[in-house]
Amino acid sequence: MKITEPVGLMEPMLPPDGDRELEDLAMELATKASCLASQLVPTVRESLGDLVRSMNCYYSNLIEGHDTHPRDIDRALTQEDYSSDPEKRALQHEAVAHIEVQRLIDYHEDLEEKTTNQNYLIWLHQEFCRRMPDELLWVQNPNTSERIRVVPGKLRDGGVQVGKHIPPGAEALPLFLERFAAAYDSNRLSKVRQIIALGAAHHRLLWIHPFYDGNGRVTRLMSHASLIRYGVGSSLWSVARGLARNANEYKTLLMATDALRRGDLDGRGTLSTQALKDFCVFFLKTCIDQVDFMASLLEPNDLLRRMRIHIEEEVDRGQLPKGSFPILREALLAGEVLRGQTASLTGYGERMARNVVSDLIKKGYLKSDSTRAPLILSFPLDAIERWFPKLYPVT
C-alpha cells in the first residue's frame, strides 16, 4: 500500500535550541532530583520505591479514568486478593501490571534499548498488556462498532481517531516511529536537550498513537524510563501524580500541541512550535513540582516528627507495642536494624524486644528477608496518610 503521509506532518520534534526558559527548567530539575536522591539511605529508598510505584500506578490509572482505590491495589499486590466484582478485579490486574513493568524499569531490568526506539516501545506495550485480563484487551471502532483485540506488542494495523486528531495510518507507522527514534536519540542531544526533549517526546508519541490501546500507559512509562536513563528520574517520585492532579491542563495542552502552525512567527514545521514549547514547559514544571513535593515529605526531621506522633498515638490506642518508635527511627536513619540491637533500642529484654519486632513485621512497618536478617523499614497503607500527607487524595 502506498504511503501518502510524510513524517514532516509531526515536525517540529523539538522546541528551538537555546530557549533560556526551557534550559533553566531542565537545570533546575536535574539539580533538585539529585538532591532528592541523597535524602535517604539506599535501603529506605528501595522500600519507598515500592510505595511510589503503587502511587504512580494509582495516578496513571486515574488519567485513564480508572479510579482504583489504593487499598484494592495493595490487596492485589501484597496478598493476591482480588475482588469478586469483575470490573474491580480487572482494574486490580491492570494496576499490578503497571507496577510490575515499572519495577522492571526501576531495577534496570527493562529492554537494553534507547527508550524512544520502536523495539523499546513495543516491549513496554507487550510487557504491560500480556499481564492484563482479556476483557481489558478489546477496543471498539466507534464508527463501525467492530470489536478489535489488542495484541500485546503489536502495532495497530488500522486507522484510529483520538478526539479531533487523526493519527498516521497504520502503513505509515514504521516511518513515523523511525523519525521519532532519530529525533530523540540521546547520543545526538546534550544532557540539557535530553531533559527538554522529554515533554516533546511525550506528546509526539501520543500523536503517533502506535497501538490500538495502551498508548497513554506506554507513553508515561516511556517518560519514566527516559527520566531514569537521563539521570534525573528515580523510584522516589512520579510525574504521573503531577499529570493526574493537573489533568485538565495536561489534556488541554496535549490537544493544543496537536494544532497546526499558527503563522510565520510560529516556527517552520507543520505543527505549532509555540504549542510544543508550552507543553515542554508544563511537563518540566510538573516534574519539578513533584520532586519538590517528595523532597518536602522526605525531609528527615519532619518525617521523623510525623512518624513519632503517629506511632505514639497507635501505642496509646493499644495498636502497637511500646518501644516501636526507636526501632522504626533507627531503620529510617541507618537503613537497617540488626536484630541484636532491638533490646537496647527498646530498653526491653530480648524476648520482649522480639515481640515488638514481630508485631511491627506483622503490621507491615518492618520487613526482613529471614528470621535472622536485618530489619528494613516498610510503609503500611494505614500509616501512609500520616507519614506522607497528600500522597494520595483523601478518599
State the residue for C-alpha cell 482480588.
Answer: 82
- What distance in Å separates the CA atoms of residue 167 and residue 161, rounded to the nearest whole number? 7
Assign domain 300-387 one CATH number from 1.10.287.3510, 1.10.10.10, 3.90.1200.10, 1.20.59.10.
Answer: 1.10.10.10
Tens-place pLDDT, residues 49-105: 999 999 989 999 899 888 888 888 888 888 888 889 888 888 899 999 999 999 999
The predicted pLDDT at position 74 comes to: 86
The structural domains of the chain, with segments of one domain joined by +, span 41-194+205-247, 300-387
* Among 311, 306, 305, CA closest to 325: 311
* Model confidence at 222: pLDDT above 80: yes
Confidence of residue 395 (pLDDT cuts 50, 70, 90): low
The predicted pLDDT at position 394 comes to: 59
* Rg (the chain; Cα; Å): 23
* Model confidence at 12: pLDDT above 70: yes
State the residue for C-alpha cell 529525533.
Answer: 183
Quote the percentage of the chain above a pLDDT of 90. 80
* CATH code for the structural domain at 41-194+205-247: 1.10.3290.10
Q: What is the pTM of this model?
A: 0.93
Q: How many Å separate Cα 384 from the centre of its chain? A: 18
Please, how many CA atoms are within 13 Å of residue 289, restricted to the half-sphere of its CB? 14
Domain 300-387 in the same topology as domain 41-194+205-247: no
* Model confidence at 4: pLDDT above 80: no
* Model confidence at 144: pLDDT above 80: no
